[in-house]
Amino acid sequence: MLRNHKSETIVAMILIAPFIAIYGLIFIYPTVDMFLLSFQKAPLIGDGTWVGVDNYTRLASDRRFDTAFWNTAYFVALSVVPGTFVALFISLGISRLSGRIQALVLALFFLPYILPVSVVYRIWDWTLNFQFGIAMHVFDWLGFDRIPIFKITGWFMPAVAFVTIWWTAGFSILLFLAGLRAIPVEIYEASSLDNASRWQTFRKITWPLLWPVTALVLTIQLISQLKIFDQVYLFSTGGRPNDNLVMVYYIFQRAFVNNHGGRAAAIAVVLFIIVIVVSVLNFQLMRFAGKKQ
Amino acid sequence: MKNIKKITAAAALLIGVSTTLYAEENVVWWDFLGGGDGVRMKKLISDFNEANAGAIKIDATTLEWGVPFYTKVQTSVAVGEAPDVMTYHASRIPLALEQNVLDEITPADWATMGFGEADFATQIWDGVTGADGKTYGVPLDTHPIVLYYNKDVLGAAGQLNADGTPKGMGSREEFTAMLQAIADAGSVKFPLGSVTADGNFMFRTIYSLVGQQNGELMTDGEFLAGDNAKKLENALGVLQEWTNAGLQSTYTDYPATVALFTSGEAAMMINGVWEVPTMTDLHASGKLFEWGAVELPVIFDKPSTYSDSHVFAIPKGSSQDPAKRAAVLKAISGILNESLFWATAGHIPANNAVTNSAEYKAMEPNATYSSLTANMIYDPKTPLAGVAGPIFDVMSTHFVPTLNGEMDPAEAVSAIKEDLSDM
């Protein structure tokens, strides 16, 4: 059958035009605008003056940027790999259950994930509040000294990472379970016929066959934890915000508290580049690790 | 054809007439009053709407306090969707002028409202005046911090005067001795409940103590110039001393502080006057001990209390329609004239006519602490200051460890100076 390529192209163009228009308007245009804004001395709203790369060069000596950068890195280290392993561990356990019990246990682990962050904050504040927290009464009972968890810098990031893992593990568990179910039962049967130990089965079958899912979970976690903001903001309100800064918090502070739109844009661009570089590196690393197996 | 034209014209005329006849000016109003004071403001608004039915209707929305509110104002002004009138904090006016979000309240506006400089205390009027000498807000109140105290506990510890006020209010030694006496009496967990987990909040107390030494936060555009740094260190020092002596609650956030006081676990508390309705309501329902509120103790050289004002402001670029403007001004002056009721929210009304009235003077605990209006200090006039402003985070970051005894006051002050210099 002869096809009129020209008219097909036109139809295709017309069909994708609405998408292109909306994508351009709400993604491409603001992104380009943010890049342009990062070269200006500008308030949050309104016109700025062109200052070249000033906003970028001053980041080198900006102590708050330094804090934000290292705190973000620290938080990623505390949450991405541990979070993935916690989820893997739980999903291995759940996959051994069956029927209603499995559904119930899965639902229990998934429950925190559906909570909005404000509720997560409330729950953990009630638990760990220095004066009235439930956990503090347990501490008293056990004879420990009370610890103001979210008010001491050393405790802050580990505690927020813990809460984040508690909150978001449900989704990773779901992904891992899907991955585990995709592994054919025959392989496990064969290995048990060969008298393989549980550890050998895991090491030689489950882990390699699950690797694509593990890589996916790690990548999703990495990108979302680099953009951490809500929990840090909520838990440090009124406490020691400048010691607990992370990248997105610093962008928020510059833009919305200090009214420095240009400087906030520059930090946002830096974060944007970090996310791209880290994701590409991560992806390549996963591919390499996958091939080796 | 001619007929049709005539009919259309007549119809248009009719519609025109009917709209002017029934035109009710709708005043779009935003505020951030979400607590006990919000309930009282809603009552004032509905009373106003009732009294002006058919002429003016205030269409009020209450929004989230702090950065969310002020960000929304900024964006709404930028896109021309701002309200006709909004509440604002006087301390935020310098930043608002930099952001260009406020319309001037002109001398003609003041004349229309029937108010002027003479109707307000000097510091309050000064708070709404910009660097250009023009005014940008109509003050509704002033809301300082005060010392709340549990009369039962203080009485049992022998720390009340005959008139029911606390004894040790004259000096640092006296006040510390009173705290110690309450601690020794042993009936409470903490003699003083302090919001030690929230440096933003403690800024009010600490700044008051700096003011008690005649100190300034900003002198000619320089933060903590000269011996002001030393004065901040002294202020932090006395608070840390109380922590180290076990006289005040540590790592306590705002709600926990109020809970410690109202549950009787803390004998005293320094907090804003906006908590007065909490106490009044609890006491009325029989759930609270006998309580009182007084001006802050004089810890250093002279009485001084930090305060801020709620003001009414008109956003930039709002309607220039004279009828609308008149309605907005009428709404503002209407609320100001009725602000005796606002005083039940704890705030001290800005309108002198109200505070000089016999009814106000009979109102407790307002009358006891309203003497402090003579000793109020406001935030320095810089876009960096003001509630939820840029310097808040810097202060809070170093106040919290200092107040809880983790950081040396001198170290905190030098860190604050350093951080303020790279704002």
- Please say if the pLDDT value at position B91 is more than 90: yes
- The C-alpha of A239 sits at a distance from chain B's nearest C-alpha, in angstroms, of 5
Residue A171: how many other CB atoms lie within 10 Å: 17
| pLDDT recorded at residue A1 | 59
B80 shares its domain with B95:
yes
Q: Give the integer Cα–Cα distance in Å for B165 and B153.
A: 12
Query: Which amino acid is residue A270, in one-letter code?
Result: V
Name every residue whose Cβ is closer than 8 Å to that of residue B148 and which is 6 or more positions away in sequence. B261, B268, B269, B270, B271, B275, B279, B291, B292, B293
Confidence band of B5 (pLDDT split at 50, 70, 90): low
Chain A contact for B81, CB < 8 A? no
Tell me the C-alpha to C-alpha distance, in Å, between residue A269 and each of A54, A55, A278.
14, 11, 14
Across the range B85-105, mean pLDDT stands at 93
Residue appearing with tokens 């309240």: B105
Span B355-403, pLDDT tens digits:
999 999 998 888 889 888 889 999 998 888 888 888 888 888 999 999 9
Cis peptide before B365 (omega within 30 of 0): yes
**B78–A45: do the CB atoms touch at under 8 Å?**
yes
Q: Using the beta-carbon criterion (under 8 Å), do A151 and B197 form an inter-chain contact?
A: yes
| In a shared domain, residues B68 and B46 | yes
Q: In angstroms, rounded to a whole number, what is the distance separating the alpha carbons of residues B75 and A97?
A: 53
Residues B244 and B268 in one domain: yes
Q: Is the pLDDT of residue A44 over 60?
A: yes
The better pLDDT of the pair A46, B163 is held by B163
Please state, in angstroms and rounded to a whole number, the distance separating the CA atoms of residues B116 and A139.
59
Mean pLDDT of B58-69: 90
- B199 — contact with chain A (CB < 8 Å)? yes
Q: Looking at the complex, report in whole angstroms how far the Cα of residue A280 sits from the nearest Cα belonging to chain B.
A: 34
Tokens 């860190």 found at: B415
Within a domain: B368 = yes
Task: Look at residue B384 and tell me if it is in a domain.
Answer: no
Beta-carbon pairs below 8 A across chains A and B: 87
pLDDT of residue B318: 79
B112-118 contact pairs (CB < 8 A, 24+): B112/B326, B112/B329, B112/B333, B113/B138, B113/B329, B113/B330, B113/B332, B113/B333, B113/B336, B114/B333, B115/B333, B115/B336, B115/B351, B118/B352
Question: B265 to chain A nearest CA, in Å?
Answer: 11
Between the CA of residue A63 and those of A60, A242, A251, B60, B136, what are the distances in Å? 8, 10, 14, 42, 36
Q: What angle do CA B106, B111, B114 make, to 5 degrees?
A: 130
User: Which residue has tokens 């009919």?
Assistant: B7
Best CA proximity match to B138, nearest among B286, B268, B329:
B329
Residue B286 inside a domain? The answer is: yes
| pTM for the predicted model, two decimal places | 0.86
Contacts of B22 (CB under 8 A, 6+ apart): B54
Among chain B residues, the shortest Cα distance to A64 is held by B419
Is A131 in contact with B251 (Cβ distance < 8 A)? yes
Answer whether residue B13 shows pLDDT above 70.
no
In this prediction, residue B78 carries a pLDDT of: 87
How many domains, chain B? 2
pLDDT of residue A293 exceeding 70: no
Contact indicator for B375, B295 with CB cutoff of 8 Å:
yes
Nearest CA in chain A to B256: A131
Nearest CA in chain A to B396: A240
Q: Are residues B285 and B195 in the same domain?
A: yes
Q: How far apart are CA B121 and CA B139, in angstroms?
A: 10
The token pair at B244 is: 């180290």
* pLDDT at residue A24, as a whole number: 94
Q: What was the ipTM of the complex prediction?
A: 0.82
Domain that holds residue B182: 145-306+389-421
Tens digits of residue pLDDT in A214-265:
999 998 999 999 999 999 999 988 788 889 999 999 999 999 888 899 999 9
Q: Got the DSSP string for B216-285? A: -SEETTEETTTTHHHHHHHHHHHHHHHHHTT-B-SS--HHHHHHHHHTTSEEEEEEEGGGHHHHHHHHHT
Q: Does B251 touch chain A (CB under 8 A)?
A: yes
Q: Which residues in chain A touch residue B201, judged by CB atoms under 8 angstroms apart? A: 238
Q: Are residues B173 and B229 in the same domain?
A: yes
* Same domain, residue pair B345 and B289: no
Domains in chain A, CATH or no CATH each: 51-292 (1.10.3720.10)
Distance, CA of A183 to CA of A189 (rounded, Å): 12
pLDDT band for position B19 (cuts 50, 70, 90):
very low
What are the tens digits of pLDDT across the range A170-201? 999 999 999 999 999 999 999 999 998 999 99
B128 and B150 assigned to the same domain: no
Confirm or reject contact between A238 and chain B (CB < 8 A). yes
- With CB atoms and an 8 Å threshold, state whether B199 touches A238: yes
Q: How far away is chain B from the Cα of A67, in angstroms, using its nearest Cα?
A: 13
More confident call, B21 vs B220:
B220
State whether residue B176 is helix, strand or coil: helix
Q: Convert the pLDDT of each residue in A66-116 to its tens digit.
A: 999 999 999 999 999 999 999 999 999 999 998 899 999 999 999 999 999
Residue B17 binned pLDDT confidence (cut-offs 50, 70, 90): very low
The CATH code of the domain that includes B206 is 3.40.190.10
Inside any domain, residue B381: no
Q: What burial class does residue B47 get, using C-beta atoms within 10 Å of its C-beta: 0-12 exposed, 13-18 middle, 19+ buried?
A: middle
What are the percentages of helix, strand and coil residues in chain A, rounded to 5?
Answer: 80, 0, 20
Residues B408 and B351 in one domain: no
Cα–Cα–Cα angle for A124, B271, B217, rounded to 5 degrees: 100
For position B12, what pLDDT does the model report?
52
Q: Is B76 on the interface with A (CB under 8 A)?
A: no
Shared-domain flag, residues B125 and B158: no
Asked if residue B220 and residue B319 are part of one domain, the reply reads no
Specify if B298 maps to a domain.
Answer: yes
Q: Is residue B382 part of a domain?
A: no
For B312, list phi and psi in degrees, rounded to 5: -95, 135
Q: Inform me whether the pLDDT recorded for B22 exceeds 60.
A: no
Which range, of A15-24, B85-94, B177-186, B317-326, averages the lowest pLDDT? B317-326
pLDDT tops 90 at residue A131:
no
Query: Is the residue at B228 inside a domain?
Result: yes
Looking at the structure, tell me whether residues B286 and B335 fall in a common domain.
no
Distance CA B357, CA B354 (A): 5
Interface check for A235 against chain B (CB to CB < 8 A): the answer is no
Is the Cβ of A127 closer than 8 Å to some Cβ of chain B? Answer: no
Mean of pLDDT values over A19-33: 94
The amino acid present at A64, given as its one-letter code, is R
Average pLDDT over residues A270-278: 93
Does a structural domain hold residue B262?
Answer: yes
Which stretch of A113-117, A284-288, B248-252, B339-343 has the lowest confidence by average pLDDT?
A284-288
Same domain, B62 and B183: no
Indicate the average pLDDT of chain A.
Answer: 91
Q: What is the pLDDT of residue B37?
A: 84
Q: Which helix (H) or strand (E) holds B193?
A: strand B190-193
Output the six-digit token pair for B365.
């605990």
